[in-house]
Amino acid sequence: MENNHVTKLLPEYLDNTLSKEDKEKVRKHIADCIQCKLEHDEMNILFKAFENEPISVPTESLTAKFDKALQQEKMETSKVIPISSEKKKIGWASNMLKVAASIALLVASFQMGRFLQQEKSNEDIAILLDETLQVKQTAMLSLMENQSASKRIQGVNYIEEFPNPDEAIVKALANRLLHDENDNVRLNAFEALSRFATSPTVKQAFIEALDIEKNPSIQIAIIQSLVKIQEKKAAAPMKKLLEQEDTQPFVRNEIELALPKII
Amino acid sequence: MEELSDEIVMQKVAAGNLDLLKVLFDRHHRHVYNFLYKMSGDKMLSEDLTQDVFYKIIKYRSSYKNGSFVAWLFTIARNDLKTHFTRVHKNHEDIDAVDYKKVENQEDRSEEHSHLQNALNKLDATDRELVILNRFQEIRYNELAEITGSTPGAIKTRMSRALKKLKRIYLENI
């Protein structure tokens, strides 16, 4: 292509897409150059032909088919549940929660285990204590039946181990108080029982003992104990003692002092 | 919707708003159809291929990479046409040659084509493609370069030559 000719620029010139300078250049050149003028005119004819070329239109079914395909695609995509993006956002917080929850679970189960263990050992200790008490009771009851007076005293003194002695022990002690041949054993039994003077069994035992007791020191102790608990039923055996001839004078004296306090 | 560019609309489609594809279809399906028709001279085939091009856009919408939408659209259309011709002609000749022959055969059969169309059919397939895309579908040099994998400068030169050649053929047979 010749240097000065503008054939290369002609399409753009006709399309009116050239810059102002280029456009001016082409316009001037065409005015002078016959060759390029011809080229321009011919190209113009061709471009006119392009403009006049009928544009064919696709049938309606193309649009319909496209719509159908689009609807189908929408149906298929709506079935897909997007999870990727949201999952990342909550990841951090939920992980922390998970860690916290597992720590809490660990601590809770540890504490629970400890508590259960403690409860079990408490139970064991309670059973053991119960067992020792039973052993002691058996020992106490058997000691009280011993031939030796000192052993019997030892058995009676076991009462201190029982804060709440059961009926069997109280009965055994009352038995000692009423029927033991040894004064010391009776006195010890009385002392042991006096701690539970409010019990009806004990009261009954005291009243009975007052009836049959010959030892003046025990008699006086019983009288004082009965006065202390204000036992009305004791009045009768006391009066009986007053009437008896073999009653010691100081015992008599004690009863005379005690009777008005009861009645 | 009308004021949004093709690219923005397509981005929305790629993000999941499928309904907007209808907008793009309405804007461009005639251009695609006309390009295919001018290239193949076969109305039924052009319609089928146009449909296929838009199916592909529905299917591969997420692979759209923010370039010129028109360039992307005609790249798909071009490839569809090539694939079609390679499939029809089992013998594996050069694609462009196959394309060219196909149109030539049709020219003999049907006299309904315009004089310009006949002149176009005498061009190389590659030149014809450029001229059709540029003249009828108003595709600019930048996008043509994108579609054909060339540079705007090279396209400009090739276009100028192709138009000159076409002009000669057109005026010869007038």
Question: pLDDT in tens for each of the 263 residues of chain A?
Answer: 445 677 778 888 888 778 888 888 888 888 888 888 888 888 888 888 888 877 777 788 888 888 888 888 878 776 655 555 555 555 678 889 999 999 999 999 999 999 999 999 999 999 998 888 888 888 888 887 888 888 888 888 877 777 777 778 888 888 888 888 888 888 888 888 888 777 788 888 888 887 788 788 888 888 888 888 777 777 777 788 778 777 778 888 888 887 787 76
Domain ranges of chain B: 6-172
Decide: A6 and A26 in contact? Cβ < 8 Å: yes
Measured in whole angstroms, the distance separating CA A162 from the mean position of its chain's CA atoms is 37
Under an 8 A CB cutoff, do A46 and B114 touch?
no
Cβ pair B47:A56 closer than 8 A: no
Residue A249 lies in a domain: yes
Distance CA B15, CA A84 (A): 14
Indicate the helix (H) or strand (E) that contains A40. helix A34-52
What is the C-alpha separation between A181 and A209, in angstroms, rounded? 13
Residue A58 and residue B33 in contact, taking contact as beta carbons nearer than 8 Å: yes
What is the number of helices (H) and of strands (E) in chain B?
A: 9, 0
The number of domains in chain A is: 2
What the block records as the tokens of B162 is: 């192709």
Q: Which domain holds residue A36?
A: 7-51
Q: Tell me the three state secondary structure of residue B141.
A: helix
Q: How far is CA B93 from the centre of its chain?
A: 21
Count CA atoms closer than 13 A to A110's CA, side-chain side. Answer: 6
End-to-end CA distance of chain B: 45
Gap between the Cα atoms of B163 and B130, Å rounded: 10
Residues 8-67 of chain A with CB under 8 A from chain B are 8, 10-11, 42-43, 45-47, 49-50, 53-59, 61-63, 65-67
Residue found by looking up tokens 């039923």 in the block:
A233
Q: Is the CB of B58 less than 8 angstroms away from the CB of A73?
A: yes
In chain A, what residues touch B116 (CB-CB under 8 Å)? 46, 49-50, 53
Q: A166-204: buried (b, 16+ CB within 10 Å) or exposed (e) per residue?
A: eeebbebbbebbbebeeeebbbbbbbbbbebeeeeebbe
Please check whether residue A36 lies inside any domain of the structure.
Answer: yes
What's the rounded Cα separation, in Å, for the pair B53 and B59?
A: 10
Fold annotation for B6-172:
Rna Polymerase Sigma Factor; Chain: A (1.10.1740)
Q: Inspect the interface and report whether the beta carbons of A66 and B116 lie closer than 8 Å.
A: no
The ipTM estimated for the assembled molecules is 0.72
